[in-house]
Amino acid sequence: NAGVMQNPRHLVRRRGQEARLRCSPVKGHSHVYWYRQLPEEGLKFMVYLQKENIIDESGMPKERFSAEFPKEGPSILRIQQVVRGDSAAYFCASSPLRDRANNEQFFGPGTRLTVL
Amino acid sequence: AQKITQTQPGMFVQEKEAVTLDCTYDTSDQSYGLFWYKQPSSGEMIFLIYQGSYDEQNATEGRYSLNFQKARKSANLVISASQLGDSAMYFCAMREGSWGNEKLTFGTGTRLTIIP
């Protein structure tokens, strides 16, 4: 079974451009989480989505950032008008329907965004 | 207050020795889960071990064990017989309370270097 897929793995954007990061969860997983890791720091939660719903966006910056998880297709994290401070690694994780017996949250390989 | 505290920014350990990575946490929830992840230089997040707050026994996974001391709110990771391939960043993380929202809070990490 394929794990969590993220693309692109590396993304370079100039200030003011848009960045679109894609995440395909493990097949059958309906919950997707996005995290951001700034250089030399731990991961910080951004947003939690289920199919067609944003459940918790408490970690999302108020402006320029948006996320979706449509009924069909991957989850998208979109950053408009990128600034240098957006340079980071963005990780997506997925988990199945609630099952306490399965506690692993499956992480993708991350997308490394560099803003020039 | 920090929810997850990892006080060791870096550690150097001789190959084949055991190593303990410290993690303390702060939560008022009765139900929570504690995770350890490994992040090698390639950048992916690798799940190592999980401990539930109601688990009576310490979790073990191969060479990894979790020294869970609930009253002290600590969840230290023990790696036995360290190997060169164990050199990486290690992150402690916590999932709190509510059923359904699996978002994790991460510590700042410990960089472990195994010396041949």
- What is the distance of C-alpha A88 from the center of its chain? 12
Of B50, B100, B107, the CB nearest to A104: B50
**β-sheet bridge partners, residue B66:** B77
Neighbours of A38 (CB within 10 A): 13
Q: If you average pLDDT over every residue of chain A, what do you get?
A: 91
Cβ of A33 within 8 Å of Cβ of B104? The answer is yes
Report the distance separating Cα A18 and Cα B100, nearest Å: 32
Of A31, A45, A93, the CB nearest to B105: A45
Query: In Å, how far is B33's CA from the nearest CA of chain A?
Result: 8
Nearest residue to B43 via CA among A44, A105, A10, A46: A10
Report the distance separating Cα A76 and Cα A20, nearest Å: 7
Residue A100: what pLDDT? 53
Residue A106: what pLDDT? 86
Instruction: Find the angle CA(A9)-CA(A11)-CA(A16) to the nearest 5 degrees.
Output: 155
Cβ of B52 within 8 Å of Cβ of A103? The answer is yes
Interface residue A103 vs chain B (CB under 8 A): yes
Report the distance separating Cα A115 and Cα B6, nearest Å: 30
Label the pairing between strands B46-52 and B110-115.
unpaired
Residue A12: what pLDDT? 98
Query: In Å, how far is B79's CA from the nearest CA of chain A?
Result: 19
Q: Assess whether pLDDT exceeds 80 at residue B8.
A: yes
DSSP state at residue B87:
-
Q: Assess whether pLDDT exceeds 80 at residue A57.
A: yes
Q: What is the dihedral of CA B73, A60, A108, A11, to 10 degrees?
A: -140
Q: pLDDT tens, A1-22?
A: 578 999 999 999 999 999 999 9
First-to-last C-alpha distance (Å) of chain A: 36
Q: Assess whether pLDDT exceeds 70 at residue B7.
A: yes
Concatenating the DSSP letter of every residue in A61-115 gives -SSSEEEE--SSS-EEEEE-S--GGG-EEEEEEEE-SS-TT--PPEE---EEEEE
Q: Which two tokens stand for residue A2?
A: 């394929």
Q: pLDDT band at residue A98, thresholds of 50, 70 and 90?
A: low
Residue B110: what pLDDT? 97
The values of phi and psi at residue B28, to 5°, are -100, -5
Residues 6+ away with beta carbon under 8 Å from A19: A11, A13, A78, A79, A82, A86, A113, A115
Interface residue A112 vs chain B (CB under 8 A): yes
Cβ of B47 within 8 Å of Cβ of A55? The answer is no
Residue A96: what pLDDT? 76
More confident residue, B32 or A19: A19
Q: pLDDT tens, B69-106?
A: 999 999 999 999 999 999 999 999 999 866 667 789 99
Interface residue A51 vs chain B (CB under 8 A): no
